[in-house]
Amino acid sequence: MNGADILVSCLEREGVDTIFAYPGGCSMPIHQSLTRSKKIRTILPRHEQGGVFAAEGYARVTGRAGVCMGTSGPGATNLVTGIADAFMDSTPLVAITGQVPQEMIGRGAFQETDMFGITLPIVKHSYLVMDINDLPRIVKEAFHIATTGRPGPVLIDIPKNIQQQETQPIYPKEINLRGYKIDYKADDLALNEMIGLINSARQPMIYCGGGIITSDAHKELLEFVERTQIPVATTLMGIGCFPETHEMSLKWLGMHGTVYANNAVNEADLLLAIGVRFDDRVTGKVEKFCEHGTIVHIDIDNSELNKNKTVKLPILSEVKYALRRSNQILEKGGFKRSKKFTRFPAWYKQIDAWKKKFPLSFKDTPDAIQPQYVIKMLCEMTKGEAIITTGVGQHQMWAAQFYNFTEPRTLVTSAGLGSMGYGYPAAMGAKVARPDKQVIDIDGDGSFLMNVQELATTHVEGIAAKAIILNNQHLGMVVQWEDRFFGSNRGHTFLGDPRDRDRIYPDYVELCKGFGVTCERVLHKKDLPAAIQRMLDSKETYVLDVMTPYTEHVLPMIPTQKTYKDIITE
């Protein structure tokens, strides 16, 4: 078999059913092999960045590795933002790139780029294949590394001559990676110490994140909460790991999280940080974060323990195991599972007071469509059961605030890297993975335009990924910062046509028509419910262009490097 056929055979053996791949000179042999595969669906994105974001969306809703491919040079570099995004958000991804023939490497050949070097800081591991006989082992290792431990992206760079050479492949049955340990399990001594701290706490909180979803530990978390009766606040990446409709949920914390979540986490006397990394968007001024509380940190990545925040009790462990074993110890210690929460009455009373004083709210006006209103209506009309993807900006925060998530893997968003243009390609990948679900991208006009070309992909491939554009003709989040900190001076944040400010530009209705996609513009609040219903009922790609005011701000807001006490609420 030639190297290209071996690669495709290896992908099939790993259970890959979809690859998002854009061809070019140094990846053509692989594409030829993919045309002969009976197991793998090859989807042609209209830009490599759209392809890698789609692979991320696929991975985020399935837990399996998303797979994408580009050719050498610019095709490969167009994948870099998505690879970095997957690294920041611990998303399992295998990115395959074509490379110039081995004898041309280092000579500045046409479309040559050192992808091994470029991606070193943003991958779990990277491979430059120099021997065709290594290919089966490399592919098996790549998927193992990408999906185990703390997940992340792995790059496989394959020179064109390797793709064309022939050999008799030997497929390894086992993997032996020296130094790669993934089965960390908390010892009972540490877990008993944590439970001892719970016994003496008066104001405990759980702060949990994407690690819960990655390890499929949401059921164990729910049991842990119903045994300990400790309230929960999640990170943006952790949304859905604990039902936001649950009595113990404080939704999420951080820069635009709820006031009550930020207050409770920072004023807790015991903070259980589970599957999180103390990101600056959560902590604000990190030295002041939970300044007077005792912190326990459980994580599978040893490099995250005591990295951003020094804690009292670091526990290196796979999160699912730590919670499952904790529940067993709690059961033996008399912590019965209950849906009646009475353990910390004074603490619950304080949290309830914060909830009543600082609810998530907005000023609803009859003459404009508030973006929060759109999301609340969408949540009601989908019964909170859709998979929601987002771009990056104000709309992202509003989606997280006003859509109630009750299941894991139902919010797909770029959190750590904050990549604009992520939302619609991610919806495309999520819909391919979950064709049984409504998948809706809540986006801004700036973010949506960055990968608008993927409308062509969804149309021709029959992928019914929907989109709601909250169109305010501005880069809304930057405008908000201009209003708050720069005297409303506009530094190139108007996205419309400056020669005709009353004109809606670009015209998404006409733009979508060119792609063969239905787009409906909504100008009046009374027209919104019917328009959303038409979008939901559609069996095809559908875009709603909803005009919203640019003067609306995302609140609450904790300014950069400030503390929860500096939160802006109006």
Pair (448, 499) in one structural domain: yes
12 token code pair = 């099939």
**Could you read off the pLDDT of 349-360 as tens digits, one per residue?**
999 999 999 999
Pair (394, 433) in one structural domain: yes
Question: Is 110 annotated as catalytic?
Answer: yes
Active-site pick, 124, 140, 160, 466: 160
Active-site pick, 14, 20, 48, 205: 48
- Asked if the structure places residue 365 within a domain, the reply is no
When pLDDT is averaged across residues 97-126 and rounded to a whole number, the result is: 96
The one-letter amino acid at 77: T
Active-site pick, 103, 110, 181, 533: 110
Question: Is 251 annotated as catalytic?
Answer: no
- What sign does the dihedral 201-202-203-209 (CA atoms) show? positive
**Residue 505 and residue 498 in contact, taking contact as beta carbons nearer than 8 Å:** no
pLDDT at 484: 96
Distance of CA 47 to the CA centre of its chain: 20
Instruction: State yes or no: pLDDT of 309 exceeds 90.
Output: yes
Instruction: Check which CATH number belongs to the domain holding 78 and give it.
Output: 3.40.50.970
**Residue 220 and residue 324 in contact, taking contact as beta carbons nearer than 8 Å:** yes
Neighbour count for residue 307 (Cβ, 10 Å): 13
- In this prediction, residue 367 has a pLDDT band, given cuts at 50, 70 and 90, of confident
- Asked if the structure places residue 176 within a domain, the reply is no
Instruction: Check which CATH number belongs to the domain holding 340 and give it.
Output: 3.40.50.1220
Pair (153, 64) in one structural domain: yes
pLDDT at 267: 98
pLDDT at 295: 98
Q: Quickly list DSSP for 298-356.
A: EES-GGGTTTSS--SEEEES-HHHHHHHHHHHHHHTT----S---S-HHHHHHHHHHHH
Boundary residue ending a domain (112, 131, 164): 164
Alpha-carbon span 495 to 503, nearest angstrom: 11
Domain enclosing residue 46, as ranges? 3-164
Number of domains in the chain: 3
- Asked if the structure places residue 171 within a domain, the reply is no
- Asked if the structure places residue 513 within a domain, the reply is yes
Pair (248, 294) in one structural domain: yes
When pLDDT is averaged across residues 371-397 and rounded to a whole number, the result is: 98
Pair (428, 343) in one structural domain: no
The answer to pTM > 0.75 is yes
Pair (279, 314) in one structural domain: yes
Which tops the pLDDT comparison, 179 or 475?
475
Question: Is 407 annotated as catalytic?
Answer: no
375 token code pair = 């999301």
**Could you read off the pLDDT of 132-155 as tens digits, one per residue?**
999 999 999 999 999 999 999 999
Boundary residue ending a domain (330, 357, 384): 357
- Asked if the structure places residue 508 within a domain, the reply is yes
pLDDT at 351: 98
- Asked if the structure places residue 561 within a domain, the reply is no
Pair (152, 245) in one structural domain: no
When pLDDT is averaged across residues 198-221 and rounded to a whole number, the result is: 98
Specify the DSSP element, H or E, that contains 260. Answer: helix 259-267
Instruction: State yes or no: pLDDT of 112 exceeds 90.
Output: yes
Neighbour count for residue 378 (Cβ, 10 Å): 24
- Asked if the structure places residue 220 within a domain, the reply is yes
Alpha-carbon span 503 to 494, nearest angstrom: 13
Pair (378, 519) in one structural domain: yes
User: Is the omega angle on the peptide bond into residue 204 within 30 degrees of 0, that is, cis?
Assistant: no
Pair (312, 442) in one structural domain: no
pLDDT at 564: 97
Pair (294, 154) in one structural domain: no
Q: Which residues contact 200 (CB under 8 A, 6 or more apart)?
A: none
When pLDDT is averaged across residues 453-478 and rounded to a whole number, the result is: 98
Pair (319, 244) in one structural domain: yes
